[in-house]
Structure 1
Amino acid sequence: MTSSLFSSSASLSTYYHLIFTVLAFLLSALIFFLTQKTKSKHHNLPPGPQGWPVVGNLFQVARSGKQFQDYVKDMKAKYGSIFTLKMGTRTMIIITDAKLVHEAFIQKGALYASRPPENPTRNIFSANKFTVNAAVYGPVWKSLRRNMVQNMLSSTRLKEFKSVRDKAMDKLINRLKVNAENNNGVVIVVRDARFAVFCILVVMCFGLEMDEEKLERIDQVMKNVLITLDPRIDDFLPILSVFFSKQRKRALEVRKEQVEFLVPFIEQRRRAFQNPGSDQTATTFSYLDTLFDIKVHEGKKSTPSNEELVSLISEFLNGGTDTTATAVEWGIAQLIDNPEIQAKLYQEINSIVGDKKVEEKDVEKMPYLQAVVKELLRKHPPTHFVLTHAVTEPTTLGGYDIPIDANVEVYTAGIGEDPKLWSNPEKFDPERFLSKGEEADITGVTGVKMMPFGVGRRICPGLAIGTVHIHLMLARMVQEFEWSAYPPGKKIDFSGKMEFTVVMKESLRAKIKPRGETLK
């Protein structure tokens, strides 16, 4: 799996003590590098803070004591819409301007559609970049992405899983009711939202109905992988990898556990796929079915190995679970903080469906719900940075050189909160997309003003299913319950922290009451 360099709960500041522990080692390395007579082409890179030899700006970031995104925000104010940070051996070119993003990822999409090299430990989980997100731009990536989009995430295919989503939504509402009854009306939003989404994706992925115990075990295996992928200092200074042999050993252990646990499910589905009707727990179709016979290795006729299948299904599960669940948590938090928006949303839902359950077809008739979700994705994109890009050949952007070995990063908050693009961007205001006439193409094709799913050729293939889930979950949750702060009157803290996605610093605990009851 590939994620943005900083899609983790660990900030570079946590490595501060480690950096200085190995300072002597670095100084030795510095002497080595400075005495080498290597020649390199001079690039006209975007401006940026002066760094130290070898380590670049790592010390500045660490000593700032700030989360990386906050450091980037400071650099944006100083250096403008495009700037460079030298992070050890990595040259990071950070873009914070919508027009530059549109030029790079839309107008020159193929040129900016690759991925940079990674720490080998990270490649363990992507089966050497054999996933949609991790693959470099080329035949393998094109085949994997085309298969996922056309055979699994098309509008026609998504309709086939409507009953799966309906069951999961009912399960979500029932879990919220039970948890509220057991906790004086209080629920932890992200926990129940996450489980509901995971239930949907597991069935879509494996084509197998599973009990709650198996679902929770699969979920834990997935979480172990994400924890193992937390960034480390040797991601930026590979010369220090000798100090991280325990971490690499642990990564291999987690990968072994992941493969050994998931392969039996793969083989169970393979048997059901080859012998229709042989497994009563199997559904009629799954993502795995599309992968068994796919041939994507250039010059080879072999189909994916079990290890490669494990990477592909892990990407499918992880990519759609936390992003959706955290979006729902942020959404409920905003509805609690803005009770007039919650009331207006409920009014729209009630006027469209009455006493019936909200269904997917109803969402199309709810412009206010759509505006709420769009504003949610503008204000709270899943990550501070889209997945790291790399160019396929040297090019220029904004008058500066973009070399092929550079990490091209996009700071999403710099766009979604740009006062040149949005009126009062700090305010959560769904009306901006309705009565106030503001608009934004979420795909970025006609212009970039927000990019929660990325834009261009590497735009998230799960955009359609992700938005379906967010709309449906928020609609059902608001239809069934009236949401308020817990403890009563508590001010919602909208501080975020980086895990696999940007989550609320303090997990949202909310008070719920079934609609029709008077709030106490």
Structure 2
Amino acid sequence: MASLAFSSSLLPDNSNCLVFMTAIAVPLLSILVLLLLNKNKNNKNKTKALNLPPGPSGWPVVGNLFQVARASKPFIHYVRDLIGIYGPIFTLRMGARTLIIVSSAELAHEALIEKGQMFASRPAENPTRNIFSCDKFTVNSAVYGPEWRSLRRNMVSGMLSNSRLREFRGVRESAMERFIQRIRNEAEANDGAVWVLKNARFAVFCILLSMCFGVDLDEETIIKIDQVMKRVLITLNPRMDDYLPLLRPFFSKQQKEALVVRAEQIQTLVPLIDMRRQILRSPSKDPKAVSFSYLDSLLDLKVDGRKSAPDDVELVTLCSEFLNGGTDTTATAIEWAIARLIENPLIQTKLYQEIVSAVGERPVDEKDTEKMVYLQAFVKELLRKHPPTFFSLTHAAAEPGAKLGGYDIPMGTNLEIYLPTISEDPKLWSNEGTFDPERFLSGGESADITGVTGIKMIPFGCGRRICPGLGMGVTHITLMVARMVQEFEWCVHPSQPNLEFADKQEFTVVMNQALLAMVKSRQ
């Protein structure tokens, strides 16, 4: 699903940001203003010629960083306030970065469909992120061009096509059995209480590990790998020097720590790569190994513009992208799904009745879910109300002279598509604030989540850079919800008697209070 390439939705914590910026503001600004004035002498005519979207005025050099730091709410919510002031397209100057934020279906369609090729690139990344992406050698971070096309074509046709996904049906069935048993064990040990996100994340990670490396791993090893991948994600969280590169000398400690985490990531995943190579040389030695893995498609991959196949470090990077892109996004969706089922037991009952009617007592599988109309409507409504991220992956103009909504979009600026105001636009949806799967049933509302036939909700983005894992993500979410409802009745926990649907930004947009639920076995 969504990747973790840089997005303006991932900003430093507001309170820490404000303390740090206040401490350095006076001495730093006195130096930087002089640099800016000198620079402006050379760029004055060029700047005047640009017709950028409106936006709040900011300070010299730091732009709007102070306003964001002083905001009393997270950035993903602060943006809504700015939309009310400046409209569906506006500019934020965040230090050295310029962000142009789009929040309407019309402008998203213009950018991603009508002018999809023009806005199909990615902006520059900071040095730390480049270390982890092998200088943008991933599907989601690569600039628009031959290298990106080679990587994406391989991921889609070699791994994420419908036919290829069906080959991993056994992997998902095995992971679901382990998942259900983990929930059962946790509930028995805690008087029925279960942490939803933690268990969902482990289940998804197990599936993706098998799909990626094609090896059978014990639970202890899986947990260790997961911990390493979490450290990678934490290391990739934006810092102030992402926005003010002149501050990088103050972050030398964090830069060294990033190198340590990168080395740990490589040391953890290269043995899995070697294990898979050995299996391919002698398939009979590991009967539990799957017949194909994503890694198989990468080992001899010919990438346009490159003379050799990816080396081990690049393989680590590409495999990490596959794991990180699909784990937290799917797990987050599952937590929101269970919260909605607890909030509205009638929806849960309808789902359970549909499952029983379709399969009886045998475990539901993904072929069954394709025919379950109410379940499919529930998942679509889930993605409408709770997209895994509030911003699609950052876009950038691939060529000079780009325009959007009549405004100039210079190369190098971050074009950010804000999703909630699209999927909750009252011009596009009736009762847009209500969670109601019924809206998609029998002559009701419709929406193509790919955006091909029109943009009303695009939780996976759309156009040329649409998330390649869309089909896989929907398959995993739908199957997991079906199995969880089939096996258990989900109820409110006494410690959380009034569910709150407040959210916060972590790797994805999660519930502000992690969901602790009560389960009752239906068996």
Alignment TM-score, normalising by the size of structure 2: 0.96
Partner of 2:343: 337
Partner of 1:287: 294
Cα deviation, residue 282, structure 1? 2.8
2:476 to 436, 446, 469: 469
1:34 to 18, 33, 37: 37
Cα deviation, residue 488, structure 1? 7.3
Alpha carbons 1:169, 1:196 under 8 Å: kept: yes
Partner of 2:434: 427
Alpha carbons 1:13, 1:66 under 8 Å: kept: no
SS of corresponding position for 1:510 = strand
> Does 1:515 pair with 2:522?
yes
1:21 to 18, 23, 34: 23
Query: Could you tell me which amino acid in structure 2 is paired with residue 141 of structure 1?
Result: W
* 1:63-102 matches, cutoff 5 A: 63-102=70-109
Q: Write the distance in 1 (CA, Å) between the matches of 2:325 and 2:71.
A: 31
1:353 to 359, 368, 371: 359
* 1:134-283 matches, cutoff 5 A: 134-283=141-290
1:366 to 368, 372, 379: 372
Alpha carbons 1:7, 1:499 under 8 Å: kept: no
Alpha carbons 2:65, 2:93 under 8 Å: kept: yes
> Does 1:386 pair with 2:392?
yes
Q: Describe the superposition over 1:157-215 as per-residue Cα deviations: whole angstroms up to 9, x where unpaired.
A: 11111011001111111111111000000100111111111111101101100000110
Alpha carbons 2:6, 2:125 under 8 Å: kept: no
Query: Could you tell me which amino acid in structure 2 is paired with residue 16 of structure 1?
Result: L
Query: Could you tell me which amino acid in structure 2 is paired with residue 327 of structure 1?
Result: A
Task: Return closer, same or farther for 1:262/1:162 CA change in 2, 3 Å cut-off.
Answer: same
Task: Return closer, same or farther for 1:254/1:392 CA change in 2, 3 Å cut-off.
Answer: same
Cα deviation, residue 273, structure 1? 2.1
Q: Write the distance in 1 (CA, Å) between the matches of 2:157 and 2:126.
A: 31
* 1:295-334 matches, cutoff 5 A: 295-296=302-303, 298=305, 300-334=306-340
Q: Describe the superposition over 1:427-449 as per-residue Cα deviations: whole angstroms up to 9, x where unpaired.
A: 11001111461111000011111
> Does 1:408 pair with 2:415?
yes
Cα deviation, residue 27, structure 1? 2.3
Q: Write the distance in 2 (CA, Å) between the matches of 1:434 and 1:32.
A: 60
Task: Return closer, same or farther for 1:464/1:161 CA change in 2, 3 Å cut-off.
Answer: same
Alpha carbons 2:11, 2:75 under 8 Å: kept: no
SS of corresponding position for 2:118 = helix
More displaced 10-residue stretch of structure 1: 33-42 or 505-514: 33-42
Alpha carbons 1:95, 1:408 under 8 Å: kept: yes
Alpha carbons 1:96, 1:414 under 8 Å: kept: yes
Q: Write the distance in 2 (CA, Å) between the matches of 1:102 and 1:68.
A: 24
Q: Describe the superposition over 1:451-488 as per-residue Cα deviations: whole angstroms up to 9, x where unpaired.
A: 11111111111100110010000011001111100017
> Does 1:105 pair with 2:148?
no
Cα deviation, residue 9, structure 1? 7.9
RMSD of equivalent CA atoms = 1.4
SS of corresponding position for 1:92 = strand
Alpha carbons 1:2, 1:126 under 8 Å: kept: no
Partner of 1:114: 121
Q: Write the distance in 2 (CA, Å) between the matches of 1:255 and 1:501.
A: 22
Task: Return closer, same or farther for 1:442/1:119 CA change in 2, 3 Å cut-off.
Answer: same
Query: Could you tell me which amino acid in structure 1 is paired with residue 24 of structure 2?
Result: V
Partner of 1:11: 13
Cα deviation, residue 489, structure 1? 7.4
SS of corresponding position for 1:512 = strand
Q: Write the distance in 1 (CA, Å) between the matches of 2:14 and 2:136.
A: 25
Q: Describe the superposition over 1:39-68 as per-residue Cα deviations: whole angstroms up to 9, x where unpaired.
A: 234210011111111111111111122211
Gapped regions of structure 2 (runs ≥ 5): none
Query: Could you tell me which amino acid in structure 2 is paired with residue 227 of structure 1?
Result: I
Q: Write the distance in 2 (CA, Å) between the matches of 1:436 and 1:133.
A: 37
Cα deviation, residue 4, structure 1? 3.8
Q: Write the distance in 2 (CA, Å) between the matches of 1:453 and 1:502.
A: 14
Q: Write the distance in 2 (CA, Å) between the matches of 1:44 and 1:9.
A: 26
2:425 to 411, 418, 424: 418
Alignment TM-score, normalising by the size of structure 1: 0.97
Gapped regions of structure 1 (runs ≥ 5): none
Cα deviation, residue 109, structure 1? 1.2
